[in-house]
C-alpha cells in the first residue's frame, strides 16, 4: 500500500519524504487555508519535493469552470493530480481531463455506486472518506472493501485512495482490505511507529545497558 500524506505543510512533507514514507501528497481547500499560503505557490513547492502524485483541488462547482481550473492546476507540474468532487459536474470534468491524459482524483466518495461512476469516467484515484462515514456510525472500511470487490470484478484500473483517515488502526485496516493508497496526516503516519511494548522493551534494554558500564563510542 502506498502512503500519501494529507497536508500542505511543506516541512512535514519533506521530513517524511526523506524517510521514504511519502509516495504522494493530497491537499484540499481546508489544508491550503491551514497553510496560510497561496495555492499555486505551495503546490509548486510540494511538487518540487515529492516525485509522486500531488492532488490539487478545484474550487468551482460547474463543469466548464472545473475544467478550466483543473487545466490551470495541471500546469504547475507533471505530477499534479487534479482533484474534483464526486458530483455530476465533477464526473464530467474527470472524463474531459482524463481523456487529455491528466491524472484525476475524484474525492468525497461515500458509496460504492459513486466509486463505480468515477471509474467509468476514467478517474486515476477514487477517494472514499472513511472517517466521515465512521462519524455517522457507518463502517467506512466496508466501503473500501466493496469498492475493491467491484473494481476487481471488472478490471477497473482506478486506484482506491483511502481518505479521511483518523488513526493507525485505519491504516492497518486499509492495508488488510486492499486499498491501493492511504492518505493520512503526518501525525498518523508517525504514530504507526509507536507501540507501548516497544517503549517498555527499550526502557529495559537501556537500564540493563547502563549496568554494564560499557560504551560503544
Q: Is 200 a catalytic residue?
A: no
C-alpha cell at 23: 509516495
DSSP at 58: -
Which of the following is catalytic: 72, 83, 120, 211? 83
Rounded to whole angstroms, how far apart are CA atoms 57 and 69? 9
Which H or E element spans position 108? strand 103-109
**Who's near 57: CB < 8 A, 6+ residues apart?**
27, 28, 29, 82, 83, 84, 107
**Who's near 143: CB < 8 A, 6+ residues apart?**
109, 110, 111, 112, 115, 128, 130, 133
Query: Hey, which residues are catalytic here?
Result: 83
Amino acid at each position: 500500500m502506498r502512503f500519501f500524506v494529507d497536508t500542505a505543510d511543506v516541512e512535514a512533507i519533506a521530513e517524511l519524504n526523506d524517510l521514504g514514507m511519502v509516495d504522494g501528497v493530497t491537499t484540499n481547500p481546508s489544508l491550503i487555508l491551514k497553510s496560510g499560503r497561496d495555492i499555486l505557490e505551495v503546490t509548486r513547492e510540494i511538487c518540487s519535493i515529492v516525485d509522486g502524485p500531488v492532488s490539487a483541488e478545484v474550487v468551482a462547482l460547474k463543469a466548464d469552470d472545473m475544467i478550466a481550473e483543473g487545466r490551470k492546476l495541471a500546469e504547475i507540474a507533471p505530477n499534479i493530480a487534479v482533484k474534483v468532487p464526486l458530483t455530476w459536474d465533477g464526473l464530467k470534468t474527470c472524463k474531459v481531463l482524463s481523456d487529455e491524459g491528466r491524472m484525476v482524483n475524484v474525492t468525497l466518495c461515500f458509496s460504492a455506486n459513486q466509486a463505480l461512476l468515477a471509474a467509468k469516467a476514467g478517474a486515476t484515484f477514487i477517494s472514499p472518506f472513511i472517517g466521515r462515514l465512521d462519524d455517522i456510525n457507518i463502517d467506512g472500511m466496508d466501503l473500501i472493501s466493496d469498492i475493491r470487490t467491484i473494481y476487481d470484478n471488472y478490471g477497473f484500473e482506478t486506484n482506491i485512495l483511502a481518505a479521511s483517515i483518523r488513526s493507525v488502526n485505519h491504516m492497518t485496516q486499509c492495508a488488510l482490505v486492499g486499498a491501493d493508497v492511504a492518505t493520512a496526516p503526518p501525525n498518523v503516519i508517525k504514530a504507526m511507529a509507536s507501540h507501548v511494548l516497544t517503549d517498555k522493551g527499550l526502557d529495559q534494554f537501556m537500564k540493563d545497558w547502563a549496568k554494564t558500564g560499557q560504551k560503544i563510542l
